[in-house]
Copies of this chain bind each other. A is one copy, B any other.
Amino acid sequence: MPNMKMVELGENRSVIRDLFEYGLKRKKEVGAERVYDFSLGNPSIPAPQKVNETLISLIEHTESTALHGYSSAPGDPAVRKAVAESINRRFKRTQTADDIYMTCGAAASLTISLHALLCEGEEVIIFSPFFPEYKVFVEKAGGVVRTVGAREKDFGPDLDAFKSAVNAKTRAVIINSPNNPSGAVVTSEDLRAISEFLKEKQKIFGAPIYILSDEPYRELVYGGVEVPYVMNFYENTLVCYSYSKSLSLPGERIGYIALCHEAQEREKVFAAICGAGRALGYVCAPVLFQKMLLSCLEEKTDLSAYEQNKNLLYRALCDMGYTCVKPEGAFYLFIKAPGGDDAAFCEQAKKHDLLIVPSASFGLPGYMRIAYCVSLQTIQNALPAFRELAKEYNL
């Protein structure tokens, strides 16, 4: 007799988490080096040296109650100011500390934003392939998900489909660039088209439509690709950021919401963010990690390992006959499921202790996602299994 929707969400864990837990179990059974776990976006690159040095220095030199005490709910004022200034420096914006709300990571940034913005029954547009939890988050906030497909050639948004999806109930659009799972980056051209169309529609409907820009992979791009900053195209933007990937701290839960300073009724929207954070039980973001950011905001993990992984895996799989989307960012390779049935292929892969995620749960069946944020060794060890699978499927 608990809430049965919640029971269902707990029992049917996300496919990704499920596979990850299976991997942990399986590693215990056959040894960690024999399981090729490409399921979870858990960074394999250490946090920058400076992060751990800063944590130790804070612990050693800050008075305990000042160090570990509550911060204001939206975050430590100095940290919020530093985040705003960093955004301004990098993206030529005019953000202030008052536009920044520190969170427990990207998932919290998204749930807080959605609960802040949505009323029962309002619609949120997401582009497939999409991070499956979007649906869970939107529905918990009382919203309804409307999905729009991708162009097959480059996995950019299908603009015509997008335009017919927008209606008077549309309250938000989630953009995730670089994309999980496809690795695609939304171009300036596409972003301009989306923004211009939304601006028109806002006028017609007389109500704001927000873009939630989910950017945990912003810093993870390869070959000089640029990720346009959504606020530079559209005022009613909330950036949902996380340091999980850029500083390799996914378990520590630290990120922020940046509300565009020029958003309509900015103060009301920011108050709604504060209200939603409060009502969901997010008292403040973990303070040690907030304070760490003051010294490490623009630190970066060494991406060369991801790039090396990507190059090795991409070339090897193409050589074996797999069809891969060329990834521009994030640490995922998105490949066509041989045989066309992603679930069947991934089950078959599991028999080789190769853990990859079928794409149906990303809203686009027929593909699979390989998270290559693993050791180079794991990729090298996994190649024979990929080769055997290729043979089994006559590639």
Contact = CB atoms under 8 A, between A and B. Distances in A.
Given A136-B279, A283-B107, A251 B68 contact: yes
B56 A248 contact: no
Given A64-B52, A251-B70, A271-B11, A281 B111 contact: yes
B69 A278 contact: no
Contact of A286 (B69, B115, B274, B286): B286
Contacts of A56: 56, 59-60
Contact of A248 (B42, B68, B118, B276): B68
B68 A278 contact: no
A154 interface: no
A63 B265 CA distance: 46
Nearest to A108: B281
Interface in A231-281: 248-253, 265, 268-276, 278-281
A42 B268 CA distance: 28
| Interface SS, A side | helix
Given A46-B63, A52-B59, A73-B17, A251 B286 contact: yes
A104 interface: yes
Interface in A27-57: 40, 42-47, 52, 55-56
A74 B133 CA distance: 17
Given A69-B251, A251-B71, A279 B43 contact: no
A4 B276 CA distance: 10
A270 B284 CA distance: 25
A374 to B, nearest CB: 10
Contacts of A11: 271, 275
Nearest to A12: B275
Contacts of A284: 251, 253
Given A6-B279, A45-B65, A252 B286 contact: yes
Q: How large is the interface on A (under 10, 10 to 19, 20 to 34, 35 or more residues)?
A: 35 or more
Contact of A3 (B69, B72, B117): B117
Given A56-B60, A115-B6, A272-B6, A282 B104 contact: yes
A211 to B, nearest CB: 14
A165 to B, nearest CB: 19
B286 A253 contact: yes
Nearest to A17: B73
A258 to B, nearest CB: 16
A273 B1 contact: no
| Residue of A8, A52, A107, A251 ringed by the most chain B CB atoms within 10 A | A251
Contact of A119 (B3, B70, B208, B278): B3
A300 B127 CA distance: 50
Nearest to A263: B2
A117 B59 contact: no
A108 B278 CA distance: 10
A151 interface: no
A72 B42 CA distance: 11
B271 A70 contact: no
A206 B251 CA distance: 41
A70 B40 contact: yes
A3 B46 contact: no
Interface string A204-243: 0001100000000000000000000000000000000000
3 pairs of A and B residues whose beta carbons are closest in the complex: A9-B275, A251-B287, A111-B281
7 contacts: A2-B117, A40-B70, A52-B64, A71-B251, A104-B286, A108-B282, A136-B279
Given A2-B268, A42-B65, A68-B248, 10 more contacts: A3-B118, A3-B276, A10-B116, A17-B73, A21-B72, A56-B59, A56-B60, A69-B250, A104-B286, A251-B287
